[in-house]
Amino acid sequence: MLLIVLELIGIAVFAASGAVAAVRARLDVFGVIVLALTTALGGGIIRDVLLGVHPPTTLRTWPYLLVAGGTGLIVFWFHPQVAKLRRSVLLLDAVGLGLFVTSGTTTALALGATPYAACLIGMTTGIGGGAVRDLLLREIPLVLRREIYAVAALAGAVAVALGTLAGLPKDLVALTGASTIITIRLIALWRKWNAPVARGLEG
């Protein structure tokens, strides 16, 4: 039950980030809800498609859709208030990323994926929704151009895969993976870390 609650919180936070981006892009209420759903559920859908799980889990479980869509509506109506909670949203986003990547990696391993594939699928679970959101808004995905986000996700996925291979308890593996992601993400935000870009570019 605790895991389900934490996953729903992660979905709500991801949905809020998608809805905020949609509001800033001046989309209508339908567009805001679509972006909220895409951001919150896109990574999980990509994971299930890659693993051959049909239909995707998030489309068979109504609370996920309800929480994501409801969050989109709330942000649509109360976006000025939500904008003031930026720090809290970033903190919860880090937690959500940790939960999604850990869950995605664990699921992939449980369904027979190799550790290498499981790490990539786990990372995609965490960053996939945000990447699709940015593409729908005709932007270069944020995870490809700034902030330590995808790197944190991959580090957590590797921690989960290594812990599983070592035969450690599942709860400890999940906690270690999520903690790795959250710690890296929060330090990156605090220190304003960004991945390096090529030097000598004009403009």
For residue 200, tell me if it sits in a domain. Answer: no
As a whole-number percent, the residues of the chain with pLDDT over 70 amount to 96
For residue 18, tell me if it sits in a domain. Answer: yes
Mention every residue, 6+ apart, whose C-beta is less than 8 A from residue 173.
106, 159, 160, 163, 164
Widest pairwise Cα distance in the chain = 53
Q: Is 0.85 surpassed by the pTM of this model?
A: yes
- Token pair in block for residue 191: 């220190």
Domain holding 187, by residue range, is 1-191
Task: List pLDDT tens digits, range 71-103.
Answer: 999 999 998 887 777 777 788 788 889 989 998
For residue 155, tell me if it sits in a domain. Answer: yes
What's the pLDDT band for 41 if we cut at 50, 70, 90? very high
Task: List pLDDT tens digits, range 168-188.
Answer: 998 899 899 999 999 999 999
Average pLDDT on 31-43 reads: 95
By the 8 A CB rule, do 140 and 133 touch?
A: no
Is pLDDT at 146 greater than 70 in this prediction?
no
Q: How many domains, in total, are found in the chain?
A: 1
For residue 196, tell me if it sits in a domain. Answer: no
